[in-house]
Amino acid sequence: MAVSGVSTDNSAAGALAGAASSSSDQEQRFLKLLVTQLNNQDPLNPLNNAELTSQLAQMSTVSGIENLNSTLTSLVAQTGASQTLQAASLIGHTVLTPGSSVALKDSAATSFGLDMQGAADTVKVTITDAAGNTVRTIDVGALPQGTKTLSWDGKNDTGSAMGDGAYKISVAASVGGSAVAANTLTYSQVASVAQTASGVTLNLGAAGTTALSDVKQFL
């Protein structure tokens, strides 16, 4: 069944077919060499059982490793397809992901988030306009480690409503005067999902793309 907005690839299937063909070819070559060796052995010094058993064991080991690789490849492909189908249910939903751009519309409050890599006793958020001018500084105060959702009321430091458009947010955090790593998070709507070599990727429209593993919150 086709799922709108989801793209998949057949590379895994091709890899499995290639692996099976390679294993079969190697077995055929091994058997031909073994038969040739047996046909041309020295009657006075024939191939002993230990040598024959050793060669058969080596071939069995190689074949077993290739079969194991094929099985693992198949499992990875199935897992990837399953994750993509599950992620398809996110289409049309809002997610909180790493980002620094927020859109202001009709001077309404807009939400964003912070990903605190550690606890901080001082956290300040700076909002700038398209020209890089600071329009609002928010003193958040102390925050624990983890994800925190915040909101900007769309006003500048003097209380005047800002015009519609794109703004940038940045964060500076510290504890006891030492900097604490913190990242900004923004809300975006999922337009589509895709299975890539690095895993499931979400297409967020104008906000670009992000890995499913980077999503901090689903709404």
For 29-69, write each residue's pLDDT tens digit: 766 766 676 666 666 566 555 666 676 666 666 666 666 56
> C-alpha angle with apex 93: 193 to 187, nearest 5 degrees?
95
Task: Supply the pLDDT for residue 2.
Answer: 37
- What does the pLDDT look like over 165-197, one tens digit per residue? 999 999 999 999 999 999 999 999 999 988 877
Report the C-alpha gap between 1 and 88 in whole angstroms.
13
What's the whole-number mean pLDDT along residues 77-98? 76
Task: Supply the pLDDT for residue 83.
Answer: 66
What's the whole-number mean pLDDT along residues 65-93? 67
Task: Supply the pLDDT for residue 30.
Answer: 66
Task: Supply the pLDDT for residue 120.
Answer: 97
One-letter amino acid of 196: T
What's the whole-number mean pLDDT along residues 94-112? 91
- What does the pLDDT look like over 124-160, one tens digit per residue? 999 999 999 999 999 999 999 999 999 999 999 999 9
Beta strands in the chain (DSSP E): 6-7, 94-98, 101-104, 110-116, 120-128, 134-143, 146-152, 165-175, 178-180, 182-189, 192-196, 199-203, 209-211, 217-218
pLDDT band at 77, cuts 50/70/90? low
Task: Supply the pLDDT for residue 86.
Answer: 74
Which H or E element spans position 142? Answer: strand 134-143
23 neighbors 61 (Cβ within 8 angstroms): no
- What does the pLDDT look like over 1-24, one tens digit per residue? 333 343 434 444 444 445 445 556
